[in-house]
Amino acid sequence: MVTRKEVARLAGVSEATVSHVINKSKAVSPELTERVQRVVRDTKYRPNRIAQSLVTKVGKHVAIIVEDIKNTYYSEIAEGMSEVAWKEGYIVSLIGLNYTNEEMLWDLISRNIDGVFITVAYDRLRRVFEEYRKAGIALVGVDGCSVELDYERSVDHMIKYLADLGHRKIGLLSGLPFSRVHTRYTSYVKSMRRYGLQPDASLIVEGAYPFHTEFQDGYRAMNVLLRRKTGATAVFVVNDMMALGAIKAIREAGMTVPGDISVVGCDDIFFASCVDPPLSTISAPKKEIGRRAMYCLLDQIHGKPGEDIVLGTEFVVRSSTGPAKK
């Protein structure tokens, strides 16, 4: 295995110069930089990241904490993060709360993590995240640096589309407390009223502790709505995984989608266009969320202040929505 000493000898420079070129820790002339980089490429030299982190205090390691790693929504976000991270020499760890516990989250502090993108409710693990901040770990997803989605225009488009198809009773399955689906919930209520529809409480199914938004949660929430006998002819579900669970519940009740009930999801995960029927949904720019989050982490790691970022969403019409049943 090639060592830094050998790279220095082949490039005709000192080991310190090799270190400065690789770590970008000190200005080196373009000529010497090119000479070192050429030897690094030719010898396929790989620096010892652990040794580097001891010198630079940067581990080149960031993480994204998500609710459920089975939901491909988060894997696409992580992919966007990785696109930026790899260019800067970082690796990204995907950590799902459904496969970990609070003790393991505390352990990230001792693993020289440089930054964390938090996609779960901050108040749920407040003590852990506050310790991250005290340890100097860059954070995205909290006050002062977050990547948010603007749902107002797309939800309004969706409600108008359903209203034009004759739907008057449109349900909402949240899977979460309203405080955590704030913009989707408020956009739904505002748009319902705008088009002369009543966002009746019986049409809205809030989540139950410990608040998950997985397939089975959509299945349970849809069954709750069906038992209420509200006469809902359409339902908006806060993510696609829950929407797929809702479709299962509708079919088990002897009804069809969209013949009896139209279903709209949110996120536009890969499977949304592959299921039967293909799912109408609110599409989020998942990879761009990851890219922006990684850039924000890098800014903080390099001593720059973080900032809030807002990205738009879009309503995508597929076959899970149709005219209201008369």
Structure tokens at 63: 């993480």
Spacing of C-alpha 55 from chain mean position: 32
Give residue-wise pLDDT tens across range 231-265.
Answer: 999 999 999 999 999 999 999 999 999 999 999 99
H helix or E strand, kind and range, residue 182: helix 182-194
Average pLDDT on 209-214 reads 76
Task: Please report, for residues 41, 78, 84, 150, the alpha-carbon distance to residue 71 in angstroms, rounded to integers and kept in the order given.
Answer: 38, 12, 22, 21
Judged against a pLDDT cut of 50, whether residue 68 lies above it is answered with yes
Q: What percent of the chain has pLDDT over 90?
A: 56
What is residue 168's predicted lDDT score, i.e. its pLDDT?
A: 96
User: In angstroms, rounded to a whole number, what is the distance separating the alpha carbons of residues 129 and 298?
Assistant: 18
Judged against a pLDDT cut of 90, whether residue 14 lies above it is answered with no
**Is 235 in contact with 261 (CB distance < 8 Å)?**
yes
Q: Which of 29-38, 145-154, 216-225, 295-304 has the lowest mean pLDDT?
A: 29-38
Average pLDDT on 281-292 reads 96
What is residue 58's predicted lDDT score, i.e. its pLDDT?
A: 54
Judged against a pLDDT cut of 90, whether residue 203 lies above it is answered with yes
Task: Please report, for residues 72, 129, 287, the alpha-carbon distance to residue 81 in angstroms, rounded to integers and kept in the order given.
Answer: 14, 20, 7
Task: Please report, for residues 161, 268, 281, the alpha-carbon distance to residue 321 in angstroms, rounded to integers and kept in the order given.
Answer: 10, 15, 10
Ordered structural domains, the chain, with CATH: 4-47 (no CATH), 61-147+287-310 (3.40.50.2300), 149-284 (3.40.50.2300)
What is residue 46's predicted lDDT score, i.e. its pLDDT?
A: 72
What is residue 179's predicted lDDT score, i.e. its pLDDT?
A: 53
- How is 11-54 classified by DSSP, letter by letter? HTS-HHHHHHHHHT-S---HHHHHHHHHHHHHHT----HHHHHH
H helix or E strand, kind and range, residue 262: strand 262-267
